[in-house]
Amino acid sequence: ETGVTQTPRHLVMGMTNKKSLKCEQHLGHNAMYWYKQSAKKPLELMFVYSLEERVENNSVPSRFSPECPNSSHLFLHLHTLQPEDSALYLCASSQDFGGLSRTDTQYFGPGTRLTVL
Instruction: Please give the residue ranges that form the binding site for another protein (CB under 8 A).
Output: 2, 31, 40-43, 45, 48, 56, 88, 90, 94, 96-99, 101-111
Rounded to a whole number of angstroms, the minimum distance from the CB of residue 20 to another protein is 19
Minimum distance from residue 18 beta carbon to another protein (Å): 25
Q: How far is the CB of 88 from another protein (least distance, A)?
A: 8
Q: Sort residue 71 into left (φ over 0), alpha (ψ -120 to 50) or beta.
A: alpha
Question: Does residue 8 contact residue 109 with C-beta atoms inside 8 Å?
Answer: no
Other Cβ atoms within 10 Å of 97 Cβ, number: 21
DSSP notation for 21-76? EEEEE-S--SEEEEEEE-TTS--EEEEEEETTEEEEE-S--TTEEEEEEETTEEEE
Comparing CB distances to another protein, the nearer of 17 and 37 is 37
Question: In the complex with another protein, which residue's Cβ is closer, 41 or 70?
Answer: 41
Please say which residue, 16 or 101, places its beta carbon nearer to another protein. 101
Among residues 52 and 80, whose Cβ is nearest to another protein?
A: 52
